[in-house]
C-alpha cells in the first residue's frame, strides 16, 4: 500500500487534465483557472484573431469589440481604416 500521508492536492490542468506539481492559476473576470503550462492557458484563454484565426498572445489590436493579432489583420478587415499597433 502506498502511504498517503501527504495531503497535497495536486491541481489538475483544466485543459489537458495533467496533474503537474508546478501548475499555476490565472484569475480572469473573477474566475479561477488552473493550468500546467502556458500552452494550455493560451489554448483556453487567448482570443482568436478575427482575420487570420491565429491565437492572439501579444497585445493584439481591438477594433469595435473584435480582436486581431496585429494592425495589419485589423486593417484588412476594416477596409484600411486607421488602425495602429498598441504596444
Looking at the Cβ atoms of 1 and 48, the one nearer to Zn ion is 48
Looking at the Cβ atoms of 5 and 80, the one nearer to Zn ion is 80
Cβ 50 to Zn ion shortest distance, Å? 8
* CA angle, 66 then 69 then 14, to 5°: 85
Looking at the Cβ atoms of 18 and 24, the one nearer to Zn ion is 18
> At a CB cut-off of 8 Å and minimum separation 6, what does 4 contact?
none
Residue 37, Cβ neighbours under 10 Å: how many? 16
Binding site for Zn ion (CB under 5 A): 13, 15-16, 18, 36, 40, 49, 51-52, 69, 73
Amino acid at each position: 500500500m502506498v502511504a498517503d500521508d501527504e495531503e497535497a492536492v495536486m491541481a489538475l490542468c483544466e485543459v489537458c487534465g495533467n496533474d503537474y506539481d508546478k501548475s499555476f492559476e490565472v484569475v480572469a473576470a473573477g474566475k479561477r483557472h488552473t493550468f500546467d503550462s502556458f500552452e494550455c492557458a493560451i489554448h483556453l484563454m487567448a482570443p482568436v484573431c478575427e482575420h487570420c484565426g491565429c491565437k492572439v498572445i501579444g497585445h493584439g489590436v481591438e477594433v469595435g469589440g473584435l480582436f486581431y493579432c496585429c494592425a495589419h489583420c485589423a486593417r484588412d478587415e476594416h477596409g484600411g481604416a486607421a488602425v495602429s499597433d498598441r504596444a
